[in-house]
Structures are given as C-alpha cells and as structure tokens.
Amino acid sequence: MARLVIPYIIDFQQEAEQKEMIASLINLQKMLAQYRARNDSLQYPKDLSIFKINEHDFRYRTFQNKKEYVVSIKLDFDNDGRVDDYLYVSSRKFGVEKKLDAEQPPTLASPK
C-alpha cells in the first residue's frame, strides 16, 4: 500500500512547493512595484536584501539603469526529473510566467 500512496504524497509536496514559489514571486513583484512607486528616481533596488525576505534561490537582475527587472527561480516545474525550468516575473508584465527546458535564465527581450 505504501508503494501506491508515496508517489501521490511526493506529487502533492511538489505541487505545494511550486504554488509556494508562485505566491512568493507574485508577492515579490508587488513589493518591487511598491518600492519603485515610493522611490523618487523610479528605479528598482540593486538587490533583494532590502525586503528582508527568504530569497529561496531567486535570481534578481536589473536592466536599463535599474528601471526594469527579472526575478527567476530554477526548478523542475514540468516534473521531468531535470531542474531546467524557470518561474519568473518581470517589470514588463504582471504575473508569473514559465520558461520550460531552458539552458539560460529569463532576461528581458529588447522592446520592439
């Protein structure tokens, strides 16, 4: 019976961890927007340390003289056994996006 139940428990744990990462990224995106709105220069911070949060393994990068950002985390989102997927948020779009089977972390594409 344990052989039947354990895979489901592991799936639920992975799903819970993924949902936690999504919620953390959305909250971080809101905090970054508030920071920029309160900052007279309309720039994002140079790093995430000002928020005093558990950074999980977030990768934070700014662009355009700190006027844009991408925050990403690498994990196995599609459950293929490889940690080659990214969940990320950016200053250009609200909400979490996925980049599956990626060799490089997300960056901001040049505006068209």
Tell me the pLDDT tens digit for each residue of 38-50. Answer: 887 789 999 998 8
CA distances from 104 to 4, 33, 79 (A): 36, 25, 18
8 Å CB contact between 69 and 62: yes
Q: What is the largest CA-CA distance in the chain?
A: 61
pLDDT mean over 98-109 = 90
pLDDT at 44: 94
- pLDDT above 70 for 26: yes
pLDDT at 112: 45
For position 9, what pLDDT does the model report?
58
Structural domain boundaries of the chain? 2-99
Task: Give the SS3 label for residue 105.
Answer: coil
Q: Using an 8 Å Cβ cutoff, are 62 and 44 in contact?
A: yes
Encode pLDDT of 48-58 as tens digits.
988 887 666 89
**Model confidence at 23: pLDDT above 90:** yes
